[in-house]
Amino acid sequence: MEDLKGSEAWRIFRIISEFTEGFDKLSSLPLSITIFGAARSKPGDVHYRAAETLANKLAKEGFGIISGGGPGIMEAANKGANEAGGKSIGLNITLPQEQKPNPYQNLSLDFRYFFVRKVMFVKYSMGYVCMPGGFGTLDEFFESLTLIQTHKIFPIPLVLYGSVFWSGLLDWIKTTVLSEGLIAEEDLGLITVTDDIDEVVRIMVNHRDWKVNMVDSALSQHYL
């Protein structure tokens, strides 16, 4: 029993060290967008190309691009940002399969714990884009949506890219979850669905401009 307690105590120190390293290395990031998506997407796939193009355009607008650091859509996001000369951040997770860090990160962190990594996504992102993906992407989408819905984080754009891919899930949410009164209709307004890369860029730029203006206004009122 004492050995077990000692092991748990050391685990706490490992968790603290991951938080400390994350806060230290990410604290100076520019305003950044996180792009989630499938690790199994291949170069040349339509959504891989879309993620690469989107990240490239966002980076040229001055945004940092954050991904999960692995292959597939994550690689495409980091590649697009890197090739635009932008900040390309990968929050890698240690997994027994799938997760091999991609070579397009110019800032890379490694995490053992999913929950620590999720805190970094939330703390350092001012917008989320969910490309098509599997269980991990769905988890990230719903966790982000829950945090926004419950006002645990500042409201930020949450964009689902790929209307065909997401339509079945959204139809189920509307016809089952909403119809049974388990969410409010206005909750659906927290989500934007699009197939237009330029629309995503406009959404993020407009949100950044609004946020900057709001901060400037608050500061001016404070010092008057």
Q: With beta carbons less than 8 A apart as the criterion, state whether 188 and 182 touch.
A: no
The 3-state DSSP composition of the chain as helix, strand, coil percent (nearest 5) reads 55, 15, 30
Whole-prediction pTM: 0.90
Q: What is the pLDDT of residue 96?
A: 72
Closest CA to 18 of 152, 139, 119, 130: 119
* Relative orientation angle of helices 46-60 and 73-83, to the nearest 10 degrees: 30
Nearest C-alpha neighbor of 107 from the set 124, 128, 131: 124
Token digits of residue 127: 């917008």
Q: Is the distance from CB of 161 to CB of 133 less than 8 angstroms? A: no
SS3 label, residue 116: helix
Which of 124, 98, 136, 94 shows the shortest CA–CA distance to 111? 94
Residue with tokens 């901060």: 215
Residue 222: C-alpha distances to residues 210, 215, 217, 218 (Å):
18, 10, 9, 6
Beta bridge partners of 92: 110
Q: Walk along the chain (224 residues) and give the pLDDT tens digit of each residue.
A: 445 555 788 889 999 999 999 999 999 999 999 999 999 999 999 999 999 999 999 999 999 999 999 999 999 999 999 999 999 999 999 877 656 889 999 999 999 999 999 999 999 999 999 999 999 999 999 999 999 999 999 889 999 999 999 999 999 999 999 999 999 999 999 999 999 999 999 999 999 999 888 765 554 444 44
Secondary structure of residue 39 in the 3-state scheme: coil
CA atoms of 83 and 190, how far apart (whole Å): 31
Which domains, ranges and CATH numbers included, belong to the chain?
Answer: 2-217 (3.40.50.450)
